[in-house]
Every structure is written in structure tokens, then in C-alpha cells.
Chain A
Amino acid sequence: MSAESAWLGPEEWQAVMLSLQVSIWATLAALPPAVFTAYALARWQFPGKQIVNSLVHLPLILPPVVTGYLLLMLFGTKGPVGGALQQIGIVFAFRWTGAALAAGIMAFPLMVRAIRLSVEAVDPKLEQAAATLGASRIMCFATITLPMILPGLIAGAVLGFAKAMGEFGATITFVSSIPGQTQTLPSAIYTFLQVPGGETAALRLTLVSIAIALTALLLSELLARRAADRAGGR
């Protein structure tokens, strides 16, 4: 840590660590519902399917500031959901958890899209075969579908992680940019650019951003290739 701290200022370091924390939590929390939604959209016919599909895609097409404002209204301490959650001690507004919520919601449609494509590529006849061999729906999913969609799931997770790392508009609207609390990498870069002489700090954070993005991409390529080899029967 000392080497990095010598290069990055404490505030910059804080922003990097906070961004990683927020993005990892956002990705992990969004993944299970994203897999479920992707599976449901790919495999099930149900009334209102088109509405669910549109809702899922909403964060992708709405201006991020609008999403952030909606989150603030819903999950703020005076909002209907936020107020109720506050009773049991969960607070999103102006906390890092709020940043994670905003990042997760922005990443969700990208994850669903990637995973849905890979679910559609799995032949339902294989799931049928598993059912005739005694596997219940959940076991079919766990033993057949999940391993076979793993490459798409990894791709979706990395895409979601990248989106979460870069999320700016909804986050700053919902939880502002409080150093050490909610100031993520993008909002830190933005803040540095607002003060005279902040360009070098902004440049350092930009380099860190690039490094994190490239690492994530390489890692996912590696994992996805392995998973694809397995799923392809080699």
C-alpha cells in the first residue's frame, strides 16, 4: 500500500479503493437477479413479459441523471422504500451502499443482455434430457444450464463491473460525491478537474482506471475461454 500511497495521494487512493468496493458489490449483488431475469426472458412465456423486458432496459436508455433522481426519490431517507429500509437500519442515501445500488442498477441491463444470449444458446433439449434422468428444475439449472452459460455469465459480469466502475451520472445525483464516502473514481476525476492544479491527480486516476479496466478484460477473456472449452465439450 505504501508504494501506491507514495504515488497516489490519500484522497485519490481512497477513491480507487471505494470504486473497487462499490463495483464489486454492485456486480455480485446484481448477478443472481440478472441470471434469473435473463433465464426467465429467454425461456418462459408469461403475461407482461414485454413490460418486464422494457423495465430491465430502462436504465440503459434513460439519462443517468434521471435514474439517479428516481433512486433518490425512492431510496432517499424520505422516499417510500428508503424510509421503510431505514427502520431496519439499511440506509442508501449518501452512503457507499447507495453508490453500489446506483452502479448495480445501471449495470443490470448490460448483464441481463449478455447472459440472456448465452441462455438462448443452450439447447432446451439438453434440459429435457436431464429432467428425464431425474433432475428437478433447479438441479437441471445447476448442473446443465449454469455450467453451459458460464462464459456468457462471466462476460456479463465483467461488462457490469466495467459499467459500475464508470458509473457517474446516477451516482453523483443519488449519493453526491463525498470524499471517503461516495466519491468514486469518475467523480474524483471530475472533482480534481474542477480545481486549479488538479490535472496531474486526474491523470493519475485516469491511468489507474485504464489499468483496472484492462486487467478485468484480460481476466474475463481467460476465464471465459476456459469455461467455453468445457461447455463446448473439449
Chain B
Amino acid sequence: MLTVSLQHALPGFGLDVQFEAPPGVTVLFGRSGTGKTTVIQAVAGLLRPDQGRVALQGEVLCDTSRGQWLPPHKRRMGCVFQEGRLFPHLTVRQNLAFGQWFAPRNAKRENLDRVVELLGIGPLLQRRPGHLSGGEKQRVAIGRALLSAPRMILADEPLSALDEARKAEILPYFERLRDEIGIPMLYVSHSAAEVARLATTVVVLQDGQVQRQGSAAEVLGDPAVMPAGVRAAGALLQARVARHHGDGLTELDAGGVPLYLPQIARAPGSMVRVRVSAHEVILSRQRPEGLSALNILPGTVEHVRTGGGPGAMVSLTTPAGRVLARVTRRSAQALGLEPGAECHAVVKTVSIAPEDIGGGGG
């Protein structure tokens, strides 16, 4: 458990945050310029906060009120930075071994071969970073952090410098860190898709303050939380892979409701997380008939949130979990959508995008 309490003056605004990161992946979620990176730097020991206290499993890393300060090299936080920061004069193997060198003898060490295999970087070992692609660099950076026998992994927007294809390549490795190595992680992101896939806990930052913190499903299902904008709002559903069909579809079982999506490489019985974007959901008061959409979730309106614009965010409780729908205010009125109203959420199969499907480790 990591406990963080920080106050720090930044150009234009003040950072004032308190949060706890339980085991698992805690994502600091917020727009750029909300102080996320400052928080992670203070935890890593690369920045001295004006005031604050950071403690990991009871050990104080920094406490300004008592003048306590542990320098970064004694904190054993494995950092994965946005730009990789591999050492250009060392080979990939030497980069990986760098942290191992300084790790305390009695620390629980990861095996180099296992990490190399986990990250698929075996063929790169003799190369120098100048000859690696962006995605390869980031995989080596993950391995390097992991091999320094860290007590926690700190990742500062590790995917933001990569294109979409590379992001899709790297994200599964963070999932493997969470699911196979089980190391606690603090992960900074402004992407709702990354949060949905990785987070077990979400801390939403806005203008230097914690706006909301809680479990991933709880926070992401809350229509009031939209740091990445209305268009990125969406709910997170837990589902079990029921069966694979011959026509290229996979059937999921989400709380008794069947959901179909293009075939995914998961064995029947395994759990997955599915993200349903709010603007991909259509609402209907009657159970729709003769509709091409396959995924229909019956539910009850929990609440309707309207803002200044023409849109309304409707949250529904369904057997599969909470679902968000972005509709116009006009249709919300026309359909009589108010708390307690029965209605059906229609989700187009294709709208459950594959890059939004994550392993169900959380």
C-alpha cells in the first residue's frame, strides 16, 4: 500500500492531492497538465514536494514535516518513463542488467531470462538502443525497471509517445506485469482505454486535486467522471467467455446477458473486461425487435445527468453492470428517461473495439 499526500506549487496552479494505492494497478487518470507527472516524480524521489508525505508499506520515503527524505536510488521504485530513457552507450542486455547491479542482495529478484521471455526481447539483447523501434525500447524499459528488484513499478504515460499500433503492442505487457508478476503499479495515463484495461484502482486528478478515487468499475461507471471528455466516457463490464461461434464471433456471458463481439483469443471460461463507450449505446424503452444489433442489455435508469449542452448522460443498472449512454436531451425527454424507468441499451457488436478488451485480472 502506497500512501501519498502532497502539496506542491506548479506554474499556474497548486497541486494538492491525497490518495492511497492498494495492491494492483492504480491509475492516475486526468488530462495533461493536471499534475500527474509531478505526483509520480515525487513518489520516485526525483522531485522534492513543497510539502507532503509519501510512504510505502509503512516505510516513509518522504516527510517534509519531519525533514525525512530518501534519495531516489534508495527507494527501489522501478520507473518506466514516457521516452524510455534507455542508456544509449549500453547494449539492451547491459541496460537490463543495470538495475540488477544495484539491487540489494536479499531483495526478491526477477530472473533475467524469465523477464526477457515475458517481454519477447530475446532477439534484441546484443543491440544498442539506437537500433530499436519505439515499441521495442519501451519493452526493454519495462524489463529494466522490473529487473531492478523494485518494490513497485511507476509508469509515467509509458505509451503516449507511441502510435496506436505500438500502444496495442505494449499494453498487454503491462497486463502481464499485473497478472503474472503481480507487482504493484502506479500508472499515469490520460487515456480512458488504458485505464479500462489496466486499472484496479482509479484516482482521477483535475486541476491538481483528486476529483474521485475508487475501484475501476466504480469510477469509470460514474458519468460525473470524464477527465478525458464526454466522448471518452464509457462503462466497464466484467464478462466470462462463453463460447466461440463458427461465424467469427465470440459470445460472452455478462451477468447472464449474452454479448457478442468479433472473435478474441481467450479460452472459454476466462474472464475479460469489456469497455462500452457511452456514445456507442442506443436506448430503447421497448425491447427492440428486428434490429441488426446483437447486444441488448435490459436495465433500469439510475440517473440522468444533463449539462449546458444538448447532450445527456444516462446511467443504467443492468445485470451485466452499470452502463453509460450518451443521448440527446431531447430523446431523454421524449422517452421519459428518469430514474427507475425500464429501458434497453443497444450496443452494436463492432462498437466493442478490440483494443478496449482487457484481461480480467482486476
Residues of A within 8 A of B (CB): 123, 125-126, 128-137, 139-140, 143-144, 147-148, 230-234
Contact = CB atoms under 8 A, between A and B. Distances in A.
Contacts of B87: 126, 129-130, 144
Given A134-B148, A148-B88, A234 B81 contact: no
A233 B130 contact: yes
Interface string B173-211: 000000000000000000000000000000000000000
Given A132-B72, A133-B102, A135-B102, A125 B83 contact: yes
Contacts of B131: 233-234
Contact of A132 (B73, B83, B129): B73
A134 B74 CA distance: 6
B103 interface: yes
A134 B130 contact: no
Given A136-B73, A148-B89, A234-B130, A125 B81 contact: yes
Contacts of A144: 87
Consensus secondary structure, chain B interface: mixed
Contacts of A231: 88-89
Nearest to A148: B89
B130 A131 contact: no
Nearest to B77: A132
Contact of B78 (A132, A135, A136, A232): A132
B248 interface: no
B81 A134 contact: no
Given A233-B131, A234-B128, A234-B130, A131 B73 contact: yes
B102 A139 contact: yes
Nearest to B74: A134
27 contacts: A125-B81, A125-B83, A125-B85, A131-B45, A131-B72, A132-B44, A132-B75, A132-B78, A132-B145, A133-B144, A133-B145, A134-B74, A134-B101, A135-B73, A135-B98, A137-B73, A139-B73, A143-B98, A148-B88, A231-B88, A232-B89, A232-B130, A233-B88, A233-B129, A234-B128, A234-B130, A234-B131
A42 B101 CA distance: 28
Nearest to B83: A125
Nearest to B46: A128
Contacts of B71: 131, 136
A132 B128 contact: no
Contact of B89 (A131, A133, A139, A233): A233
B94 to A, nearest CB: 10
A203 B87 CA distance: 50
Contacts of A147: 89
B361 interface: no
A134 B88 contact: no
Given A144-B87, A232-B130, A134 B99 contact: yes
B139 interface: no
A140 B83 CA distance: 19
Contacts of A123: 85
Contacts of A128: 46, 72, 85
